[in-house]
Amino acid sequence: MSAIATFAGRARRHGSFRIGALLLLLFAGTALLSLFWTPHGAETVAMRLRLQPASATHWLGTDHLGRDVLSRIMVGAQTSIAVGLLAVTLGMGVGVALGAWAAARRGWVDEALSRSSDLIFAFPAVLIAILIASVLGASATNAVLAIAIFNVPVFARVTRGAALAMWGRDFVRAATAMGQGPLRITLRHILPNVASVLIVQATIQFAVAILAEAGLSYLGLGAQPPIPSWGRMLRDAQTYIFQSPELAIWPGLAIALAVLGLNMLGDGLRDLLDPRLRLMRVG
Amino acid sequence: MIEFLSRRFAAALLTLALATLLVFAVVEILPGDPALVMLGTDARPDTLAALRAKHGFDRPLGERYVSWIAGLLTGDLGASHAYGTPVAKLINDRLHVTLPLGAMALSWATLIAIPLGVYAAWRHNSAGDWGVMTFSQLGISIPNFWFGILLVLLFAVTLGWFPSGGFPGWKQDVGKSLHALVLPALSLSLGEIAILARVTRSAMLDTLREDYVRTARAKGAAEGAVLFRHALRNALIPVTTVAGLIAGFLIGGAVIIESVFRLPGVGSLVYDSINNRDLIVIKNVTILFTALVLAVNLLVDLAYAVLDPRPKVTA
């Protein structure tokens, strides 16, 4: 309990963590609220109200189909969170398993994993996501898959590196000497000790996934209409940039704030969870 | 050094070979029937059969792969499904826009980021350092295509200094063509400037603490000489690595940025090909871009060998 209290105390004093957590709360809170309430129907079309400027009824105005922009941004947060979270969870699940396996087995498993990671890193990520989404069809599910694939080598590398360092530690050697198998050691000793590194990485990858989802849906390869997504809203806004320039402001601002929040939270967590890094950064 | 570089070259070739297998699997095996993806599920059986015969989708997998690789080696990439013209010609024409765009973006990135990083490290913990770090944090978080739209709003819609999109063509007007690339290159380089400035700053902070820098200062060397001749040269090693990685991001980012600014480059060719379900074009562009990323990374290795003598001995 005291460890949690110490962490909370330090977290409260950490500027980057505080701003990041606040922005993340705003982001998640908006998505959650939109499940129950939005000012107007996010998919309600009203052609006679198209391209209206901000007003008391429509706080952020309306789009080219007369839909309420604020409501669409609120529901768009759900899409971003769902795609980002699923992609990172999927990529993390597979990547951590592979990385931990490579660190435990070494030899050819390790070599094969490193080479496959190099291969995936050699591809421009956006292009492979485009390739996958265009072959499998444009949908939020396929966007999740395309983004998840790039998270696998990231998590595999991070886990492998951190786990390899753990395998050399005395308490792990002691567990080996006591006859514990590699799976048991990985689950009971290695993974809990590399968890903080993984949490930091997951936060940063979540930010990357939100950017990737926005990019894919801007290209029309993410969630399909009428489901609101921030990237798609920007695409539509661009067509009407001369009539309603402000339409292009809000969805982009939403993406930037969400990503900024997660990046700052990630930086803060890295400082708070890894004292060695904190010393290095201060120095 | 030659041994080090030839080993890297062999590794890059192997990666490229594996990449062709992966792309082939994604495009030709994963969807079951590529013809169905290209024409849609409501296509007539005879049209499907004709397309399969035209692109060889009815031949055995191994044969298709070998003939694709042979085509890649001889420059015969087949004909685009949507345009009907040879893919090699389509790509070649559009590289005239994408390569200068990428080069301009990489130049922006290095010209802006390295001085910013050096300044932040030199004035460590000052307001200037804080400003650079805040800019870097924002630059990483802002989607480059939104930044592009904002630049259009400010410089094209409001001020009218730059065109909001389009490309006149090098043969028509070189000056106007360069002018049309300024905003796209700037938006493409935003994230890269942010990352590179951070890396330069932290690499400079490390080298500025080294004994030889202290010695140079003690011997009375001018501050500029200490920063740029002594510290930056060593700090450039990690910066070069990251610049190489960034080239890959730039190539991928070009797809979206060219679409924002309606530039007729390879990126917008990919975008059009997505809408036309032109798998033949997407497949070849992906391999071409992968080869480009690998080539850039080989150049980075070469730059390493020039900047730092150590890899020559250890590798």
**Residues B156-175, mean pLDDT to the nearest whole number:** 91
Q: What CA–CA distance (Å, rounded) separates A234 from A112?
A: 41
Q: What CA–CA distance (Å, rounded) separates B189 from B109?
A: 6
* Residue to test with chain B: of A16, A24, A113, A131, most B Cβ within 10 A: A131
Long-range contacts, stretch A37-40, CB < 8 angstroms, 24+ apart: A38/A68, A38/A70, A38/A71, A38/A74, A38/A75, A39/A68, A39/A70, A39/A71, A40/A67, A40/A68, A40/A70, A40/A71
**Residues A119-130, mean pLDDT to the nearest whole number:** 75
Q: For position B249, what pLDDT does the model report?
A: 76
Q: What CA–CA distance (Å, rounded) separates B69 from B53?
A: 19
Q: For position B52, what pLDDT does the model report?
A: 80
Q: What is the mean pLDDT of chain A?
A: 88
pLDDT in tens, A81-108: 999 999 999 999 999 999 999 999 888 8
pLDDT in tens, B32-47: 777 877 777 788 888 8
Q: Which of B37, B141, B153 sits opposite A263 (nearest CB)?
A: B141
Burial class (CB in 10 A: 0-12, 13-18, 19+), B4: middle
Is it the case that residue B212 has pLDDT exceeding 80? yes
B285 contact residues in A (CB cutoff 8 A): 127
Is it the case that residue A122 has pLDDT exceeding 80? no
The whole-angstrom distance between A211's CA and the closest CA on chain B is: 6
Planar angle of CA B27, B30, B31, nearest 5 degrees: 80
| Dihedral of alpha carbons A11, A12, A13, A16, sign | positive
Q: Does B190 touch chain A (CB under 8 A)?
A: no
Q: Which of A128, A183, A182 is nearest to A152 (CA)?
A: A128
Q: For position A20, what pLDDT does the model report?
A: 93
Whether residue B264 is preceded by a cis peptide bond, meaning omega within 30 degrees of 0, is: no
Q: Does A30 touch chain B (CB under 8 A)?
A: no
Residue B16's CB is within 10 A of a number of other CB atoms, namely 18
Q: What is the mean pLDDT of chain B?
A: 86
The whole-angstrom distance between A172's CA and the closest CA on chain B is: 31
**Residues A185-190, mean pLDDT to the nearest whole number:** 90
Q: Which of A74, A70, A41 is nearest to A58 (CA)?
A: A70
Provide the chain A residues 214-233 that lie in CB contact (below 8 A) with chain B.
Answer: 214-215, 218-221, 231
Do A12 and A255 contact (CB within 8 A), yes or no?
Answer: no
* Residue ranges of domains in chain B, CATH in brackets: 2-74 (no CATH), 91-314 (1.10.3720.10)
Q: For position B177, what pLDDT does the model report?
A: 93
pLDDT in tens, A17-66: 999 999 999 999 999 999 999 999 888 888 888 888 888 888 998 998 98
Residues in chain A: 283
Q: Does B269 touch chain A (CB under 8 A)?
A: no
ipTM above 0.90, yes or no: no
Q: Which of A132, A251, A259 sits opposite B141 (nearest CB)?
A: A259
Q: Which of A115, A124, A218 sits opposite B289 (nearest CB)?
A: A124
Task: Point out which residues pair with A68 in neighbouring strands.
Answer: A62
pLDDT in tens, B56-87: 788 888 888 998 899 899 988 888 888 888 99
**Residues B109-124, mean pLDDT to the nearest whole number:** 91
Q: Does B263 touch chain A (CB under 8 A)?
A: no
Q: For position B309, what pLDDT does the model report?
A: 58
Q: Does A280 touch chain B (CB under 8 A)?
A: no
- What percent of chain B shows pLDDT beyond 90? 33
Q: Which of A205, A203, A265 is nearest to A16 (CA)?
A: A265
Q: Does A204 touch chain B (CB under 8 A)?
A: no
Q: Which residues, in sequence order, are CB contacts of B241 under 8 Å at separation 6+?
A: B300, B304
Q: Which of A132, A259, A260 sits opposite B26 (nearest CB)?
A: A132
Q: For position A249, what pLDDT does the model report?
A: 93
Q: Does B166 touch chain A (CB under 8 A)?
A: no
**Residues A119-135, mean pLDDT to the nearest whole number:** 76
Q: Does B183 touch chain A (CB under 8 A)?
A: no
Is it the case that residue A154 has pLDDT exceeding 60? yes
Specify the CATH superfamily of domain A70-282.
MetI-like (1.10.3720.10)
Q: For position B274, what pLDDT does the model report?
A: 79
Planar angle of CA B187, B188, B193, nearest 5 degrees: 90
Q: What CA–CA distance (Å, rounded) separates A44 from A38?
A: 12
The residue to which tokens 């080989």 are assigned: B298
Is it the case that residue B315 has pLDDT exceeding 70? no
A226: left (phi over 0), alpha (psi -120 to 50) or beta: alpha
Do B50 and A148 contact (CB within 8 A), yes or no?
Answer: no
Widest CA span in chain A: 76
Is it the case that residue B313 has pLDDT exceeding 60? no
Q: For position B310, what pLDDT does the model report?
A: 59
Amino acid at A175: A
Q: For position A155, what pLDDT does the model report?
A: 93
Q: Which of A207, A242, A256 sits opposite B146 (nearest CB)?
A: A256
Q: Does A248 touch chain B (CB under 8 A)?
A: yes
Is it the case that residue A283 has pLDDT exceeding 60? no
Q: Does B23 touch chain A (CB under 8 A)?
A: yes
* Residue to test with chain A: of B29, B81, B145, most A Cβ within 10 A: B145
Helix A15-36 vs helix A250-273: crossing angle, to nearest 10: 130
Is it the case that residue B308 has pLDDT exceeding 90? no
Q: Does B267 touch chain A (CB under 8 A)?
A: no
Cα A152 to chain centroid distance, Å, stands at 13
Count residue pairs from A and B with Cβ separation < 8 A. Answer: 130
Q: Does A260 touch chain B (CB under 8 A)?
A: yes
Q: Which of A72, A46, A70 is nearest to A59 (CA)?
A: A70
Amino acid at A256: A
Q: What CA–CA distance (Å, rounded) separates A74 from A84?
A: 16
The whole-angstrom distance between A31's CA and the closest CA on chain B is: 19
Is it the case that residue A270 has pLDDT exceeding 90? no
pLDDT confidence bin for B314, thresholds 50/70/90:
very low
pLDDT in tens, B172-183: 999 999 999 999
Q: Which residues, in sequence order, are CB contacts of B177 under 8 Å at separation 6+?
A: B167, B168, B169, B170
Q: Which of A122, A248, A263 sits opposite B15 (nearest CB)?
A: A122
Q: For position B258, what pLDDT does the model report?
A: 93
**Residues A222-246, mean pLDDT to the nearest whole number:** 90
Q: For position B235, what pLDDT does the model report?
A: 81
Q: What CA–CA distance (Å, rounded) separates A12 from A275?
A: 16
A207 contact residues in B (CB cutoff 8 A): 141
Do B98 and B254 contact (CB within 8 A), yes or no?
Answer: yes
Q: Does B10 touch chain A (CB under 8 A)?
A: no
**Residues A222-239, mean pLDDT to the nearest whole number:** 91
**Residues B129-142, mean pLDDT to the nearest whole number:** 93
Distances (CA, A) of B130 to A270, B110, B126, B168: 19, 20, 6, 41
